[in-house]
Amino acid sequence: MAKLNFEVEELTGEIKIPAINPGATAHVKPNPSKDEHNTALGFPGGLVENWEAKAVEKMGELLGKYKSLRVFMDSCVRCGSCTDKCHYFIGTGDPNNMPVARQELMRKVYRRNFNPGGKLLGALAGAEDMSQSVMDQWNSYFHQCSQCRRCSVYCPYGIDTAEVSMAAREIMNSVGIGQKYCNEILGKVTTVGNNLGLQKAALANTLEFLEEDVEEETGHAVKFPLDVKGADVLLIAPSADFFSSPHIEGLTGYAKVFHEAGVSWTISSYASEFANFGMFIGSFDTMQTVAKRIRDAAIELGVKRIIVGECGHAWRVAYSFWHTLIGPWDFLDPKYQTPTHIAEFTLDLIQRGGLKLDKSANDERVVTFHDSCNVARASRMGDMPGGQFEIPRAVIRAVCNNFVEMDENTIREFTYCCGGGGGLLTDELMEIRVKGVSPRAQALHEVMERKGVNTMAAICAICKAQFTKVLPEYGFDMEVVASLHQLVSDAIILGGKPGV
């Protein structure tokens, strides 16, 4: 592991609100994208001429296109309710990581250009012109927001900093200031079909290998079908599920569930990615372009329904945005809800007695559950509000004997982000990622000490990748992180029941 050039907080099990430390992470910035990453997405390659005015012009355009941005720019009273809620503030003490201060980085430019008071009085009215130094702040701090929406829960006006950081990133992209990690990945997903740039042959190899592996281990021929026309179910999984641990164990879990359910299913090589980083950069058009591959694949393969794997922001895009982006669903069977989350599918199957489970297979585990931010605060599962909390927990309880909760202020709608969401899962942002996980790390440490927890299940590819990378910096074993469907996978008795 590379040595870190900053200090990692000590584990005490307590989440402490730090004193403010101005400029603490001003130096943390994303790598700039190459020109071709930007142009591939329709953004200018490099910094455009007269960019300050163009940025303001773009802000004006967005104020006319997004009710959220327009209302949020006016309504904040700086009451301070959000100031101690962001995991990046808690981890760094940098006051610009307080959600309201992050928003103010945009609001000061808004006041200068779109409010008579700011135009007239300037600094006295808290207004500032767009400039290089403002843009430097934007580039740092709008890339220290994981768009997790925790602040918006506590805001009396529901102001969501995610909306502001998305707008800021769209403005930056529009003047040629791109973030390499997101834009490069978006280039891959819109050409190859997944974020990893995994070609069809490699994907087929991986799936074949998995089939052999599962058969060797269990003696059952569990299939991992690829590009099967006429299958009933199209599975859209985050590409990390094809690649690394503990994601791949989750994919194995989905496959076993489908196997036991007796449904015909397939993965698509054309749309082999659930993630949609178009959301992170705030671009409706890019998000739609990425999502469109899934619609096209579903039509091409002639499936009846779409079931999606474990990924937080992607579930937000799927649950909340797909209907708008790539609906209506007139090419799918209206009997099913579109999209269906794999946890919804699995729980339904369990409740109908369609899975034979041996809970004792997970007896060595004491499990806790990390609510992923986007699932918790930007989506739903099932028919009732809050189903996104209850359904994954019900699945865990069905497959594990030992389940305990972390502190109630760190779960469900109050959950802390893993620290790697929102397009920040990249090495140059490691300082903010390590510091940003601190509230979750403390809450996890507390239940490990007090209740003997040794497993934290998650339903998000970013959470899993982030946790396995940064939790070891605090001294946790990376094996502590598990996929929800990894637990399911371990408890399933294959061939136990006929399909339901």
Partner 1 sequence: MEGLTGLSIIFIALCYGAFALFLAVFLAKVYGYAVTPSPLKIPTTPAPTTALGVAGRMAGEVLFFTSLFKGNKWTWLGGYLFHLALAAVLLRHLRYFLDPVPLPVAFMTYPGLEPGVWAGVVMVAALGYLFVRRLWVDRVKYISIFADYFVLALIGLIGLTGILMKFFIRTDVEAVKEFTLGLATLHPANIPAEPMFIIHLLLVLALMVYFPFSKLMHLGGIFFSPTRTQVDDCRETRHVNPWAKN
* Positions in 95-114 near partner 1 (CB under 8 A): 95, 98, 100-101, 104
- Interacting positions 160-189 with partner 1 (CB under 8 A): 160, 163
Question: Rg (Cα) of the chain, in Å, rounded?
Answer: 23
Residue 347: CB atoms within 10 A of its CB come to 23
Residue from 25, 33, 83, 269 touching partner 1 (CB under 8 A): that is 83
Instruction: Rank residues 120 and 500 by Cβ distance to partner 1 and give the closer one.
Output: 120
380 binds partner 1 (CB under 8 A): yes
360 vs 409, which CB is nearer to partner 1?
409
Burial of 408 (0-12, 13-18, 19+ CB in 10 A): exposed
Of 492, 457, 242, 236, the C-alpha closest to 349 is 492
Q: Is 65 in the site for partner 1 (CB under 8 A)?
A: yes
Binding mask 314-353 for partner 1 (x = CB under 8 A): -----xxx-xxx-xx--------xxx--------------
How far apart CA 277 and CA 238 sit, in angstroms, is 12
Q: List beta partners, residue 266.
A: 234
> What are the residues facing 236 on neighbouring strands?
308
Cβ proximity to partner 1, 300 vs 413, nearer residue: 413
Residues 258 to 317 in contact with partner 1, rule: CB under 8 A: 284-285, 288, 292
The region of 49-57, 92-100, 392-400, 426-434 touching partner 1 under the rule CB under 8 A is 92-100
Helix (H, G, I), strand (E, B) or coil at 369: strand
# residues contacting partner 1 (CB under 8 A): 73
Name which position in 60, 64, 262, 302 contacts partner 1 (CB under 8 A). 64
- The CA distance from 83 to 18, in Å, is 11
77 binds partner 1 (CB under 8 A): yes
The minimum distance between CB 318 and partner 1, in angstroms, equals: 9
Cα(172)–Cα(208) distance, rounded to whole angstroms? 42
The contact pattern for partner 1, residues 133-152, with x = CB under 8 A and - = no contact, is: ----------------x--x
Of 44 and 339, which CB lies nearer to partner 1 in the complex structure? 339
Which one of residues 294, 378, 460, 465 is an interface residue with partner 1 (CB under 8 A)? Answer: 378
Concatenating the DSSP letter of every residue in 46-92 gives SPPTTHHHHHHHHHHHHHHH-HHHHHHHHH-----TTTTT-HHHHHH
Site membership for partner 1, residue 12 (CB under 8 A): no
User: What's the DSSP call for residue 382?
Assistant: S
Residue type, 303: V
Is the CA virtual torsion 285, 289, 292, 296 positive or negative?
positive
Our finding on whether 92 is near partner 1 (CB under 8 A) is no
Phi, psi of 339 (to 5 degrees): -80, 165
Footprint (CB under 8 A) of partner 1, residues 18-47 = 19-20, 22
Cα–Cα dist 163/147, whole Å: 8
